[in-house]
Structure 1
Amino acid sequence: MLVLVGKTGAIPQFGINHRVKLAREYAGMQQHDLADKTGLSRTSIANMETGRTKPRKKTITIIASATGVDREWLATGNAPVYITEMGNPDVGSKD
């Protein structure tokens, strides 16, 4: 695993196998749950998580949808950044 060092500390860079596992765990699923929800086999998911196989683009999209994680993050490790102003009740109002 690569680790980048930023201004505020280390930033781990996860491989696709780690991101698949993190996505599944984030969704509170076991491998068999993700298999049932995606139509993939549990063995395929296990192989992706251990790095034996790499998921195809279509599979990444299916896993992202099933787990609720961002597809771009799952595919590349890069996530879009959304900036919101917290604590301001006027944010989002149409006044």
Structure 2
Amino acid sequence: MNFQFTKAEHLTRKKEFERVFDEGKIFKNNEVVLYVVPNDFQYSRLGLVVSKKVGNAPRRNRAKRLLREAYRLNKHLLKTHVDIIAIPRHPFSSDL
């Protein structure tokens, strides 16, 4: 089992984000919104959108680190290869 989060697993291009936003299935809870769409690669990919309502730069960076780590540790549980965009809804607790 590979727990690395390689560059290939990052969603980076605007067109990739647009495709996930347009075609993706939406999953919401109080903490985060996920857009998920199957992809044609042999691996899943993650994109993050963290707005300023999450907080100042250190808080936004912390939110991104936590979301990347959650993906990295749980990607082996995904049954199919998907593109995921994660959007936190509000500031993460400072005690995380």
Asked if TM exceeds 0.5, the reply is: no
Q: Normalising to structure 2: TM-score of the pair?
A: 0.23
Decide which structure has greater strand share. Answer: 2
Highest relative contact order (Cα 8 Å, sep 6+), 1 or 2?
2
Decide which structure has greater helix share. Answer: 1
Q: Normalising to structure 1: TM-score of the pair?
A: 0.23
